[in-house]
């Protein structure tokens, strides 16, 4: 995972599900515009990582194509949402890799 995505995860890990979704969608959309800071490839990579997160939160399923190590980085965020009652506790079973 990119450093930018890990920073995003750290910034939202204690928020509620709706706030995380809103933040992730906003960041995903902002990456559509050109940037002097990030290359097109870096923006596309970050968008893909955000898409994985959005898919997990919206469906409660593991996104296809994500590496085990990258997927495990979602565990603490999902655990926090389970504790808040905002996501089904069965989703935690996905992290038993």
Are 12 and 34 spatial neighbours (Cβ–Cβ below 8 Å)? Answer: no
CA–CA dist 48, 76 (Å, integer)? 20
pLDDT tens readout for residues 3-40: 899 999 999 989 999 999 999 999 999 998 887 888 88
pLDDT at 38: 86
CA–CA dist 68, 11 (Å, integer)? 22
pLDDT tens readout for residues 38-53: 888 999 999 999 999 9
The total of structural domains in the chain comes to: 1
What pTM does this model have?
0.91
For 12, the domain range is 3-95
């Amino acid at each position: 995972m990119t450093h930018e995505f890990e920073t995003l995860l750290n910034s939202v890990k204690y928020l509620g599900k709706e706030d995380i979704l809103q933040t992730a969608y906003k960041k995903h959309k902002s990456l559509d515009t050109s940037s002097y800071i990030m290359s097109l490839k870096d923006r596309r990579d970050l968008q893909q990582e955000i898409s994985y997160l959005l898919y997990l939160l919206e469906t409660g399923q593991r996104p296809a194509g994500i590496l085990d190590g990258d997927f495990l980085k979602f565990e603490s965020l999902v655990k926090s949402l389970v504790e808040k009652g905002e996501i089904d506790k069965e989703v935690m079973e996905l992290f038993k890799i």
